Amino acid sequence: MAELKGWKDIPIGGLITEPGSSKKFNTGGWRVMRPIYDRSKCIDCMMCWIVCPDMAIIQEDGIMKAIDYDYCKGCGICASVCPKNAIEMKPETEFQE
Amino acid sequence: MIAEQKKLAITGAEAAAHAMRQINPDVVAAYPITPQTPIVEKFAQYVADGVVDTEMIPVESEHSAMSAIVGAAAAGARAMTATSANGLALMHEIVYIAASSRLPIVMPVVNRALSGPINIHCDHSDTMAERDSGWVQLFAENSQEVYDLIFIALKLAENENVRLPVMVNQDGFIISHGTEIVEILPDEEIKKFIGEQKMMYSLLDTKNPVTYGPLDLYDYYFEHKRQQVEAMDNVRKVFPEIAKEYEEISGRKYSFVESYKADDAEYVMVALGSTNGTIKYVVDKMRQEGKKVGLLKITMFRPFPKEEIQYYLNGKKGVVVLDRSMSFGAEAPLYAEIKSSLYEVAVRPQLGSYIYGLGGRDITPDMIRKAFDDAIEGNLVVDEQRYLGLRE
Amino acid sequence: MAFNIKLLAKNHKEDKFVSGHRLCPGCGAPLVPKLATLVAEALNYDLVVSNATGCLEVSTTIYPYTAWNIPFIHNAFENAAATISGVETAYKALLKRGKIKPEREIKFIAFGGDGGTYDIGLQSLSGAVERGHNFVYILYDNEGYMNTGNQRSGSTPPGSQTTTAPVGKKIPGKLQLKKNIVEIMAAHENIYAATATVGDYMDYMNKLEKAFKFDGPAFIAVLTPCVRFWRIKENATLDIAKLAVETKYWPLYEVERGVYRITRKPRQFKPVKEFIESQGRFRNLLKHPMASEIIQGLQDYVDRKWERLLALEEATKDKPIR
């Protein structure tokens, strides 16, 4: 979380002048389940990309690249729509250091 | 250079409509309410006849009027609305938001008593309910002032160091429906005076998207409010500059207050709005009788002109404050602020609080004289709220 | 245009609604603006958005974080439509006067939850539609005031557990059926009004396109399951939304200037009881002695509504009222 600023250092009117600044807030810490993606099963249908409520599917030019674990909340909707079962939900605890 | 002005015999509402015509705002959204209605009607006719090319939104309530104007102003448009009484009360929620979003909105307010019981006539209860909202509040004494103050208000609102909405108050029916001579400046002079709007943080600037109205938790709300205090303080610096500019083209002076024979007066009356005209008349009469009375008219109520109050009223023998509104369970709004301003002056005057004119009750020269006489006779009681024109 | 997801993905340049918002995991609400931005991108429009107070607005704009990469205004709870009508009018005025020269055509959207639409926001919505502003009002309907902890709204179904109309020993929760918001909006005549869900997102996107291209106001009511207060699994959002359509609970249709068109006609319907049983918010209802009566009442209602829709589709075919 950013350091709190004084009244002279912020824009007037309560305006947020930096669009998309929520990207500075990592919601990945909320995860209880983590989607694990198997590239070999993926057919790049892009269904996971379009249904992810957190825009956490990274794709480039219609090709699935990765899941953005900075923001993924582990809801599992991607896994539920994948026609090839290329995404499996595993407990997040398996990935804790 | 003072421009050549045309004299028109018009009402205060028409004067406001003329001012709006010459501003030719981008957007006007208004809902009719007596006695503001003639402003909207006159302006609607200008729109229909193509005299202005303003986009007018016939909203379905005052709450939506202010909401639409907030949207339009946030989009970078010059946006205006007008209202009275319960209309102002209905938009109360959004009035605060307009100020906190720092939008340069100008709104003529035709002062009318707040219900209940329902009353369509003049008093200041409607605008007093908005005194904490963060808007600049100006009061016109007559139709000429209505016309002039609207332009000054616009420039003030749009000033980069201010960016606050401004209400220009006029007494309902008394000013709004009474015909007076008003000097109208040429369209070109007004255009030059108000200039082009400078769009700041516009919603239509899609290359620089902004978010208006976020959720401000306890970690930032306080700071945003402090910024509004700064803006109000800047009004004190900016207003005299703008008033000077306006004086140069119109020949008419405007300041936070107007001293009418108050400099050497022993007893001074303080008031807002049209009653100041009547008080001037009484002051003149009493001066002829050798009584040293005077008037301190308040033009700018918010931000409150504390320094001017202290300057003009320090050392006076007696000050009577006339309030056209009340605060139940406490002292009347103007009285309380005058008294508090005088807390530390070198020589504190005797003070008297007089409530008058509620719900359009007429205030006569005799009543004004009575208040002055109380002061002259040393018959003022600082903690007593008195009434002029009330039947006991 | 039939949207091709793969093409949308390929041509997608930049997220206009971004990650980092604080909506619950699995919440249906973020899909509502997300898909709107994708459709706008495909159709080459710029968007300006107003949003009523509620889950979507609050969770996406916690100062100083904003999930919006497009101009956004939150004004108050009941005035998303009034606010956007001011923005839209300013656009018209400034464009006319040459004070702005946007690169692309700008489309205006007002988002509102069921609280800010069915209840407190109905007046300003109706006024904006009556005046004919060119904007799209998108209702994300999660059937309650969810942002403040599940209070009942005019959209809450009967028997659903809410804090202000709880299912108790005496009273089985909210007794009224859902207010039919789409019919109310369709009654304004000069409007494109439609239902949608986050489950049938292709249908929603097609309707978004129609809404953007409609000359006048448009209204889309998107049924948006709430994981938290419908008490469903986080990954079940889309399935529950689809179930709503398959049980006739939320038929997918559109009304364009009075012409009705059902856009999804399932070959076989499931009983509405299946929809009820799929969510924890009806758990208390199912235990209540009046349960079967209430569920049967709901079944009769959705059956009648479906028949009525079919009849309206037939009766208004090619007969627009405006």
B286-313 pLDDT, tens digit per residue, is 999 999 999 999 999 999 999 999 999 9
Confidence of residue B42 (pLDDT cuts 50, 70, 90): very high
Please indicate whether, in this complex, the C-beta atoms of A11 and B201 are within 8 angstroms of each other: yes
Distance between CA B272 and CA B287 in Å, rounded? 21
Residue C322: inside a domain: no
Looking at residue C177, what is its pLDDT? 94
- Whether the predicted pLDDT of C1 surpasses 80: no
The fold adopted by the segment(s) B257-388 is Rossmann fold (3.40.50)
Looking at residue C2, what is its pLDDT? 81
**C298-311 per-position pLDDT tens digit:** 999 999 999 999 99
Please indicate whether, in this complex, the C-beta atoms of A15 and B220 are within 8 angstroms of each other: no
Structure tokens at B216: 């401000």
Judging by DSSP bridges, how do beta strands C106-113 and C136-141 pair with one another?
parallel
- CATH label of the domain that carries residue C65: 3.40.50.970
Put simply, whether B213 touches C (Cβ < 8 Å) is: yes
Measured between CA atoms, the residue of chain B closest to residue A15 is B212
Distance between CA B202 and CA C95 in Å, rounded? 14
Chain position carrying tokens 């996406």: C60
B:C CB pairs within 8 Å: 171
Number of domains in chain C: 1
* DSSP reduced 3-state for B254: coil
**C26-43 per-position pLDDT tens digit:** 999 999 999 999 999 999
Tell me the HSE value of B11 on the side-chain side, using a 13 A CA sphere: 18
- Whether the predicted pLDDT of B178 surpasses 90: yes
Average pLDDT over residues B145-174: 98
Looking at residue A1, what is its pLDDT? 54
Average pLDDT over residues A18-32: 97
Closest CA–CA distance from residue A1 to any residue of chain B (Å): 12
The fold adopted by the segment(s) B6-250 is Rossmann fold (3.40.50)
- Whether the predicted pLDDT of B80 surpasses 90: yes
**B109-120 per-position pLDDT tens digit:** 999 999 999 999
Domain membership of residue C196 as a residue range: 5-315
CATH class of A29-95: alpha beta
Closest CA–CA distance from residue B223 to any residue of chain A (Å): 5
Find residues 220-239 of chain B whose CB sits inside 8 Å of chain A: 220, 223-224, 226-227, 230-231
Chain position carrying tokens 């401004």: B166
Distance between CA C87 and CA C114 in Å, rounded? 22
- In single-letter form, the type of residue at position C136 comes to V
Looking at residue A2, what is its pLDDT? 66
**B140-158 per-position pLDDT tens digit:** 999 999 999 999 999 999 9
Average pLDDT of every residue of chain C = 97
Query: Which one of C5, C29, C66 has the shortest CB-CB distance to A50?
Result: C5
Query: Which one of C17, C20, C235 has the shortest CB-CB distance to A27?
Result: C20
Put simply, whether B157 touches A (Cβ < 8 Å) is: no
Which chains does A contact via 3+ CB–CB distances below 8 A?
A: B, C
pTM above 0.80, yes or no: yes
Please indicate whether, in this complex, the C-beta atoms of C234 and A74 are within 8 angstroms of each other: yes
Asked if B269 and B322 touch (Cβ cutoff 8 Å), the reply is yes
* DSSP reduced 3-state for A84: coil
Buried b (16+ CB within 10 A) or exposed e, B325-339: bbeeeebbbbbebbb
Residue C284: inside a domain: yes
From chain B, pick out residues whose CB is under 8 angstroms from the CB of A16.
210-211, 214
**C2-34 per-position pLDDT tens digit:** 899 999 999 999 999 999 999 999 999 999 999
Looking at residue C254, what is its pLDDT? 98
Give the residue from C7, C16, C232, C235 with the most A CB atoms within 10 Å of its CB, the best one to mutate.
C235
Residue C127: inside a domain: yes
Looking at residue C51, what is its pLDDT? 98
* DSSP reduced 3-state for B365: helix
**C243-256 per-position pLDDT tens digit:** 999 999 999 999 99
Put simply, whether A1 touches B (Cβ < 8 Å) is: no
**C184-219 per-position pLDDT tens digit:** 999 999 999 999 999 999 999 999 999 999 999 999
> How would you class B310 by CB atoms within 10 Å of its CB: exposed for 0-12, middle for 13-18, buried for 19 or more?
middle
Asked if C5 and A45 touch (Cβ cutoff 8 Å), the reply is yes
- Whether the predicted pLDDT of C75 surpasses 90: yes
Query: Which one of A6, A12, A14 has the shortest CB-CB distance to B213?
Result: A14
Closest CA–CA distance from residue B31 to any residue of chain C (Å): 12
Percent of chain B whose predicted confidence (pLDDT) is above 90: 99
Average pLDDT over residues C231-239: 98
Put simply, whether B159 touches A (Cβ < 8 Å) is: no
Angle at B26 between CA B22 and CA B32, to 5 degrees: 80
Percent of chain C whose predicted confidence (pLDDT) is above 90: 99
Distance between CA B370 and CA C108 in Å, rounded? 60
**Phi/psi of residue B99, each to 5°?**
-70, -45
Put simply, whether C78 touches B (Cβ < 8 Å) is: yes
From chain A, pick out residues whose CB is under 8 angstroms from the CB of C59.
none
Give domain limits for chain A.
29-95
- Whether the predicted pLDDT of B130 surpasses 80: yes
From chain B, pick out residues whose CB is under 8 angstroms from the CB of A6.
223
Measured between CA atoms, the residue of chain B closest to residue A16 is B211
Looking at residue B247, what is its pLDDT? 98
- Whether the predicted pLDDT of B1 surpasses 90: no
- Whether the predicted pLDDT of A96 surpasses 60: yes
Residue C320: inside a domain: no
